[in-house]
Amino acid sequence: MMENGQDPLSLLAETKCSVSSVLNRDVKQYGKQFLFDGDEETCWNSDQGEQQHIALQFPTAVIITSVVIRFQGGFVGKECRAEGRSVASSSMYHMCDFFPEDINAVQRFEITCAEPVDRLRLVFSSSTDFFGRITIYHLGVLGHMVK
């Protein structure tokens, strides 16, 4: 529970999303929209290359508590980091590093959000895939809006 007595909420309503790449530019089959659609059969699949990322722009300032990700085993980010854009200074800062397991299960990563942010970038510096591809079936961001 949060210190204010509220459970963390999903912060994805009305959030804008961009991704570094889409496999073979096939957005109809592997686009960013599949990160949040709730369908276990669809996914975002990046193209090959290092430094893949997902960028989220929130409609208001938020405090992020965790991210929830379900990768496809074999296409998992190995060395990952969360970066946020400070509302106070409008500059990006390093929030934390996280290291997913190479499994298909849902994984939750606690995020250290020192100050309210209006943007979050999840950077996958490397992948368990030889070509650097990342495949994600589900992405969730939990926390609370700042009033």
CATH of 9-145, one of 3.90.550.10, 2.40.40.20, 2.60.120.260, 1.10.3720.10: 2.60.120.260
Give the residue extent of every domain in the chain: 9-145
Please state the separation of Cα 66 from the chain's center in Å: 10
Query: Could you identify the residue written with the tokens 């290092």?
Result: 50
Whole-structure pTM value: 0.91
- CA–CA gap between residue 12 and residue 36 (Å, rounded): 8
pLDDT in tens, 10-61: 778 789 999 999 999 999 999 999 999 999 999 999 999 989 999 999 999 9
Tokens of 86: 């400070």
Nearest residue to 119 (alpha-carbon basis) of 81, 100, 93: 93
Residue 67 burial class via C-beta count within 10 angstroms: exposed 0-12, middle 13-18, buried 19 and up: buried
pLDDT in tens, 77-133: 999 999 999 988 888 999 999 999 999 999 999 998 889 999 999 999 999 999 999
- CA–CA gap between residue 103 and residue 66 (Å, rounded): 19
Tokens of 13: 């309503």
CA atoms within 13 A on the CB side of 10: 10
Q: Is the pLDDT of residue 9 over 70?
A: no
- CA–CA gap between residue 106 and residue 142 (Å, rounded): 14
